[in-house]
Amino acid sequence: MCAASGKVLSVREAGHRYGDRFGCRGVSFDLWPGEVLAVVGESGSGKSTLLGLLSARLSTDEGSVRCQTSGGELTELATLSEREVRRLWRTDWGFVHQNAADGLRMHVSAGGNVGEPLMANGWRHYGQIRARAAEWLERVEIPAHRMDETPATFSGGMRQRVQIARNLVFGPRLVFMDEPTSGLDVSVQARLLDLIRSLVADLGLAVVIVTHDLAVARLISHRTLVMKDGQVIEHGLTDRVLEDPQAAYTQLLVSSILKG
């Protein structure tokens, strides 16, 4: 462990290898509270591998990934035990999946889905759990009278909003999001991005969001990291990356959203 720091993540030359090939490599950045980092790139560019690496689902085979743990120190992910990683998932980290069914229990009520992480954190009083779950569902614009219905009966946008509530209810400091809006109608997508943006600002969350869509990065992120063939080819403030892309590949991505 090293000296206390405000950084939530500190990544240096990090990589993950599948057999003898790297899925991503040479990634470096710092992430601070309240900051949203978008990871963009085409299919196969290494976005999911990077997300897996940052969230300890995949091994760090090269370089270093350090994350803030409860005492505020930055700790090397690779040195954490399975138990410590499970604790991070319970108290510090959230993960919003592209497919809500991967992040929710589809046949448990919406209220139950949001209450469960509180129980995992030691909440025992049914009335308090239910009240907090209702508060969070309201915050993500799910009407209170639908709290006892299951996500299986909800629309795609509503499911994603329940998934967000389930991931934020216990007060994490870092949330990973894997294409949380893709597959939704454009208007639903815009509303969801607005909601994520305001929650992130209110809660001072740090977010790493993977998207193949620069338009999503533009709406939600402060900084953008562009990946190609497992490497970071451009990294900077999102406004700068969009207004003055340096790499030819980023210029191509930017021109495609301007056309779209």
Q: Give the binding site for ligand ATP (CB under 6 A).
A: 18, 23, 41, 43-49, 212, 230
Nearest to 87 by CA among 71, 99, 101, 98: 71
Least separation in angstroms between residue 230's CB and ligand ATP is 6
Least separation in angstroms between residue 24's CB and ligand ATP is 6
| Rg of the chain, C-alpha, whole Å | 18
As a whole number of angstroms, the distance between CA 241 and CA 2 comes to 32
Nearer to ligand ATP, 168 or 215 (CB): 215
Say if CB 36 and CB 200 are below 8 A apart.
yes
Say if CB 48 and CB 77 are below 8 A apart.
no
Place of tokens 């229990």: 105
Strand 206-211 and strand 223-228: the pairing is unpaired
Nearer to ligand ATP, 53 or 158 (CB): 53
Nearer to ligand ATP, 45 or 68 (CB): 45
Nearer to ligand ATP, 218 or 228 (CB): 228
Least separation in angstroms between residue 16's CB and ligand ATP is 8
As a whole number of angstroms, the distance between CA 169 and CA 118 comes to 7
Least separation in angstroms between residue 58's CB and ligand ATP is 9
Nearer to ligand ATP, 130 or 235 (CB): 235
Least separation in angstroms between residue 39's CB and ligand ATP is 8
